[in-house]
Amino acid sequence: MKVLIIGLGGVTNGGKTTLAEKLKKMLPNCDIISQDDFFKPESEVETDERGFKLYDVLDALYMDEMVKSIHDWMKSPASSDVVTEDPQNTCDNLKNIDDVYILIVEGFLLYNYEPLNELWNRRFFLTLPYEECKRRRSTRVYQPADTPGYFDGHVWPMYLKYKNELEENGSNVVYLDGTKSLDELLSCVYSDIIQELKKLRE
């Protein structure tokens, strides 16, 4: 039994969750772990001097629990909640790979935490220009809600900080333009995963 761990990281509102869900429907034995499920409760998230809740930093997340969840999945992927029904659009590339299990881990801060970086088979990073990201963010409802100035004061600066760290230290990261259509992004990531599956079978 082999496992393939795919990271789908990047900017807030870049389309990570949508892309992950679409891929799950197209790939066999595929499961998703979402970083958003590991946020600390609001009472445990630090507030800065401006009154901003500092959600876009690693300290706002139970990262050790996230790593444990991935390791637990890797130990027994077949017993997880994986949907084993035949994926949509099954192509010849996907036949006879019942012994391969795929985990897509999606989140905004995946590649700046060392214990996670030992796990990836492939790493994707979605980017958006400032104006488009701000526009998309403004259409979403968050709990707690974004306070005035929060995007410019905290969200975007933290994205740039962690992206710069990644560009300095990270290798083998595939950068994706989040302004492209979902079909284009899906095609790119899907074909890349198929190549990884082929390598695993060799």
CATH number of the domain encompassing residue 114: 3.40.50.300
CA distance 182 to 60: 29
Residue 21 confidence (pLDDT): 96
Average pLDDT over residues 179-191: 95
In a domain, 160, yes or no: yes
In a domain, 138, yes or no: yes
Q: Domain limits at 179? A: 23-78+108-200
Reported as a single tens digit per residue, the pLDDT across 47-72 is 999 999 999 999 999 999 999 999 99
In a domain, 101, yes or no: no
For 129, the 3-state DSSP assignment is coil
What the block records as the tokens of 118 is 């030992």
Residue 198 confidence (pLDDT): 87
Residues identified as active-site: 36
On the question of pLDDT at 82 being above 50, the answer is no
> Which residue do the tokens 């088979």 mark?
121
In a domain, 122, yes or no: yes
In a domain, 99, yes or no: no
Q: Which of 125, 149, 129, 122 is nearest to 138 (CA)?
A: 149
The total number of structural domains in the chain stands at 1
In a domain, 67, yes or no: yes
pLDDT classification of 92: cutoffs 50, 70, 90: low
Residue 84 confidence (pLDDT): 44
Reported as a single tens digit per residue, the pLDDT across 109-150 is 999 999 998 899 999 999 999 999 999 999 888 777 888 999
Mean pLDDT of the chain: 89
In a domain, 88, yes or no: no
In a domain, 48, yes or no: yes
CA distance 121 to 72: 17
On the question of pLDDT at 99 being above 80, the answer is no
Determine what percent of the chain falls in helix, strand and coil, rounding each to the nearest 5.
45, 20, 35
